[in-house]
Amino acid sequence: MMAVGEYLSRYRPGSAALKGMTVKTKVLREAGVHWEVGEEGSVIIALFYASGYGLVSLFDYSGEKVYIGGDTCRLGYLCLAISIFQNRGRVGMAMLRDEIPYILAVHSVTFAGSRKMRKLIDYFGGGKKIWEADASELQASLLLSGKVEELMAARRKYDPRREYENMIRRGYRATTIFDDEYPEVLKTIYNPPAVLYSRGQIEKLNHKGLAIVGARKASSYGRNVARGLARDLARAGYCIISGMARGIDTEAHRGALEADGCTVAVLGSGIDVIYPRENTGLYDRIAASGVVISEFPLHSPPESKNFPIRNRIISGLSRGVVVVEARARSGALITVDFALEQGRDVFAVPGPITSKNSEGTHNLIKQGAKLVGSAEDVLEEYQLTLRPQTITQSSSRLGKEDGQILELLGPEPIHLDQLVSGTGLKPGVLASLLLRLEMEGIIEALPGNYFIKLRDV
């Protein structure tokens, strides 16, 4: 039987010849075409992408065959077609599988945003046609200013199909803005990414999220607060979104993981370039229980210009952004600017007035950001409360001496000598108790024999 692309390409938009045709569903599936059944189970709407045309049609679906009985339109008129048919079934948007490697190839060279990619596909009729167009056609489109030579050079050494297969084999995937899996909340922001590369569970991006961002050179106080807030907010059912940078970002991810919660890392490099390198283990843990994403093509280095760009995704995926420690000109404040543009909530944690890391957060509070002293301050904004914490086996085993230590410890570092004098315990006994508390994730040992408490028990 003829391939569905050839089958449909014989007919131009608006052709009445399409009506009354029957196509076996097996042929459609093999071609990578997907559809959605309407509420009544008999009428569906789908977008076929074949030979440069978006085909929107009404179908009768019998399970074995699809009966084409609707109208067609060019991709540029898709909205009109949807508005006509939206009350007859759900709208399904699909693209032939063969197109995806070429769209990724074009994206890797041009780094086109979603609007540019839509224009390119509509102009040329598909990713493969963009990739295979000659230089004069690319120049004539006026859509690839300064990128034509790069695209022509890439074609001589880049095999889109092979690169795509290698990506899948390595455990990565790519979701385009044309795919059903693309998070709806991101489609609403200004210039959403055309492609999201990911490792992990892409569906986590549709979970209700809160971002926690802040200083890379965070204090013990800031790291402790970020970790505790993330743990409590994750326990309340929120997915914690951050950028996996050093400092506050790292602690936010760790806190969510400690609560066995959801967390999303948005990278400023390619999905296969882990930065900073010391977060390799954290990257793997996030990918195993959440998802790591990037809009940058594979192999992209962590260039400084990438991080402000990716910040719009952190805020775009979130209901609100919590800032923990930020200098007056911190990069975290760029995320706040995006959040305000996108209509997201902004929260800020106050800090010591003598700390440079408090300048940015205090300015945000002055400007109207909600002051956060605990996770409850964030949750009450969404009419939620913190779930009661289950008493763990480790906390139930804590004795009187453990309690003495924890009463002295807090977010600020305390030296071992102060703990010895404050508890009256012998140094050897105290060292053993401190080691156990650290292994249970209740305290953290810092360089120079200093300790801080990570959480209450």
Q: Are 4 and 50 in contact (CB under 8 A)?
A: yes
Place of tokens 């979130």: 318
Strand ranges, E, within 126-204: 173-176, 195-200
54 beta partners: 49
Strand ranges, E, within 314-403: 320-324, 345-349, 370-371
Question: Per-residue DSSP letters for 373-393?
Answer: SSHHHHHGGGT--PPPPPPPH
Question: Per-residue DSSP letters for 248-272?
Answer: HHHHHHHHHHHTT--EEEE-SS-TT
Q: Which CATH architecture has domain 393-453?
A: Orthogonal Bundle (1.10)
Topology annotation, domain 202-382: Rossmann fold (3.40.50)
Nearest to 10 by CA among 47, 55, 45, 46: 55
Q: What is the pLDDT along the chain (457 residues), one digit of tens a residue?
A: 333 334 344 333 333 333 344 444 455 455 544 444 443 333 333 443 333 333 333 333 344 444 444 333 333 322 222 222 333 333 333 345 578 899 999 999 998 888 888 889 888 888 899 999 999 999 988 888 789 999 999 998 999 999 999 999 999 999 998 888 899 999 999 989 999 999 999 999 999 999 999 999 999 899 999 999 999 999 999 999 999 999 999 999 999 999 999 999 999 999 999 999 999 999 999 999 999 999 999 999 999 999 999 999 999 999 999 999 999 999 999 999 999 999 999 999 999 999 999 999 999 999 999 999 999 999 999 987 766 554 444 455 678 888 899 999 987 889 999 999 999 998 888 998 998 888 887 888 888 889 988 777 7
The reply to whether 393-453 shares the fold of 202-382 is no
Q: How far is CA 35 from its chain centroid?
A: 25
| Cβ-Cβ contacts under 8 Å for 26 (sequence gap 6 or more) | none
3-state DSSP call for residue 242?
strand
Q: Where are the domains of the chain?
A: 4-93, 97-200, 202-382, 393-453
pTM of the model: 0.72
C-alpha angle 410-411-415 in degrees, rounded to nearest 5: 70
3-state DSSP call for residue 325?
coil
